[in-house]
Copies of this chain bind each other. A is one copy, B any other.
């Protein structure tokens, strides 16, 4: 196999973001992802963001490597088609609110009966059981409830959301990770059975990213207050002002701090009784930042970044997204790619975040037009042209 999931078919009932990101990651690994969409409507994201030549670039970016089948799951006939597609699939991914799939007639027992080897994958806000299972989920709320929002911001701003929908994407990534692990388990189980249910949640995923903040809370019962760009236990640290703009500098250990102050011509501060311990440097953070900025202003961002990196001091520009997508390393890593969408022109999107030397991720197909693959896939599933036409006439596909 030239891609890790080249033999895998995914039936994708997801919409919006968390679920589609999961199935996109599986598609990037070579899976055949069949996106099921409501006839005449499709995923709402098809109409979000900038639409150029009839294609939403936001939709295109999160639905690459998928095919589209329209299917009305509110009709019995539509659900029959779904059951037939599931019988031959390896993975089902859904991000409905918990309980919806069951209401459609596809509870775990039925799914298991249809296909005992199916990996059923749920991505949702809080979990499919428990006190919040019925709540509608949304990234903003999961950021608030996970503790992330309380940690983000400054004393002045109070709790602050991060602009990117982190909880959607983290949940989608965990779900994709779970699917591949479950597939490996199934591979080893032989021909029969070994399907199972895999679930990842927006709240659980975000909680797993709290790192030392969670450890601090659990060990001491207290969490450090939000400190913006100031590191709670390192100083100087943060954004400093070169002659033409800010530079982020992270001297996280005494050794790196000495290198940083050395490059600034300020290494004597480490012997100055006002600054000779970390506690003193923290207490006099603003005084120290003033001294550092006086030196930083003497040269440009670019020169400081070159000098400090060469000295082994982690540093870099605060890049706008325009800067990011023109950054030479980002381009070298192919984190922006051009994807040809016949009829819609070329869409630029972010690239593949995991690199494989032998089985690389790639674009096998661009994001599909709504229902573009319905007839092909139904024919492959054994439906005759007459049956397909009848389903179309009834509005099922």
Task: Assess whether B150 is in contact with A318, with CB atoms less than 8 Å apart.
Answer: yes
A285 within 8 A of B: no
Q: How many copies does the complex hold?
A: 2
A180 within 8 A of B: yes
Q: Contacting chain B: which of A32-40, A219-227, A386-394?
A: A219-227
Q: How long is the Cα–Cα vector from A185 to B48 in the complex, in angstroms?
A: 36
- Interface of A, secondary structure class, is mixed
A113 within 8 A of B: no
For residue A145, which residue of chain B has the nearest CB?
B316
A368 within 8 A of B: no
Q: Mark A160-187, 1 if CB is under 8 A from B, else 0.
A: 1111111011100111111011111101
Which residues 186-221 of A sit at the B interface, judged by CB distance below 8 A? 187-188, 194, 196-201, 203-205, 207-221
Task: Assess whether B211 is in contact with A169, with CB atoms less than 8 Å apart.
Answer: yes
A324 within 8 A of B: yes
Task: Assess whether B219 is in contact with A50, with CB atoms less than 8 Å apart.
Answer: yes
Find A355's partner among B62, B140, B198 (CB 8 Å cutoff): B198
Which residues 113-164 of A sit at the B interface, judged by CB distance below 8 A? 126-127, 129-132, 134-154, 156-157, 159-164
For residue A208, which residue of chain B has the nearest CB?
B353
Task: Assess whether B313 is in contact with A177, with CB atoms less than 8 Å apart.
Answer: no
Pick the 5 closest A-B CB pairs, nearest first. Answer: A130-B332, A138-B314, A50-B219, A144-B248, A4-B181
